[in-house]
Amino acid sequence: EPEVTQTPSHQVTQMGQEVILRCVPISNHLYFYWYRQILGQKVEFLVSFYNNEISEKSEIFDDQFSVERPDGSNFTLKIRSTKLEDSAMYFCATFLDEQFFGPGTRLTVL
């Protein structure tokens, strides 16, 4: 079965540092997404990406966040200056006929 992969599985960073979370989507999928889930809370949409540009974003996805697909395969989420409240699981998802989620990256901001 095809799968979405994410690296790293766990990232620990200091407040104010930049982090880049990486995702390798399923190869023939066209839509890409980032979601986050704060511990014990629901899954929250951050951004969707189609045809090499952002198609939708939530109010969570402010100027501190950016996404790109630098080499046509990886799909990255960058947080420029992390805050304590950015600590969460970050899930990448891709879509063709159904949405497949990756295993997530646990981001811990100290």
Residues that bind another protein (CB under 8 A): 4, 30-31, 33, 35, 42-45, 48, 55-56, 58, 89, 91, 93, 95, 98-104, 106
Task: Give whichever of 43 and 110 is closer to another protein, judged by the CB atom.
Answer: 43
Q: Pick the closer one to another protein by CB: 17 or 37.
A: 37
DSSP state of 41: S
Using DSSP bridges, classify how beta strands 88-95 and 75-79 pair: parallel, antiparallel or unpaired: unpaired
Minimum distance of another protein from residue 48's CB (angstroms): 7
Helix H, strand E, coil C: the string for 27-64 is CCCCEEEEEEECCCCCEEEEEEEECCEEEEECCCCCCC
Nearer to another protein, 77 or 89 (CB): 89
- Which sign does the torsion angle of CA 40, 45, 49, 53 carry? negative
Q: How far is the CB of 6 from another protein (least distance, A)?
A: 8
